[in-house]
Amino acid sequence: MHIVDPPLESRHRQRAHYLANVTMIDTQMGELMDALERNGYAEDCVVIFTSDHGDCLGDHGHIQKWTMYDTITRVPCIVWAPGRFAGGRRIDDLVQWFDLGPTILELAGCRPDPSMEAHSLLPALEGGQAPHRNYVFTEQGRDDGNGLHVDLVTAVRSQSWKLVHFLGEDEGQLFDLQNDPHEERNLWNDPAAAPARRELLDALRDWRLSSGVTTANWAADAR
């Protein structure tokens, strides 16, 4: 699972199998789209294609997920609705995967609950602006089966930097995404990167505190 320098044959076989998997999914999506067209639903639906995570495929000495590299956390998200949303556009703003929640609710004519931290992407899909975010966050709980031996890993990312915090550990990861887009040089202990490290640690702390307040009563009606 964690081989820093895997044999070329092993990497080729893994990527060939991954390509086969992606090809299978592409074929099945085609059949789903054909079924929508055939049954008269294509003009009255919104199709959202996404994934919960990427796969390192040997990058950084890892396979599968369980890391905070962009290879894992930057997932595809394609929204298709001819006649409703203009096609051929790409949104490069910082958004989070859970923003799809209120987006789908609004598309269904529902009002998202105020306790939701997510923001609807509907304005951006309709040609406007995406909700402004200075930072996005992601987290991964403990899983001894994959070699993750801390209780929580949290990442905070801006357009230019990413910080990864390991709960209870003195060391972390800090990447300058502008000059190191493949996240190969950890600047956690680099004095020159100390201002960026402090900024992102502060952002992570503030998010944790505000999140606890915002979502405190999300299940109150179910109690």
C-alpha distances (whole Å) from 163 to each of 36, 113, 128, 133 are 42, 30, 30, 16
pLDDT of residue 54: 87
Per-residue pLDDT, averaged over 193-209, amounts to 96
Per the CB < 8 A criterion, the answer to whether 90 and 73 are in contact is no
- In tens, the pLDDT along 101-136 reads 999 999 999 999 888 889 999 999 998 888 899 999
Residue 157, beta-bridge partner list: 136, 162
**Residue 214, pLDDT score:** 82
Q: pLDDT tens, 33-47?
A: 999 999 999 988 999
**What pLDDT score was predicted for residue 175?**
98
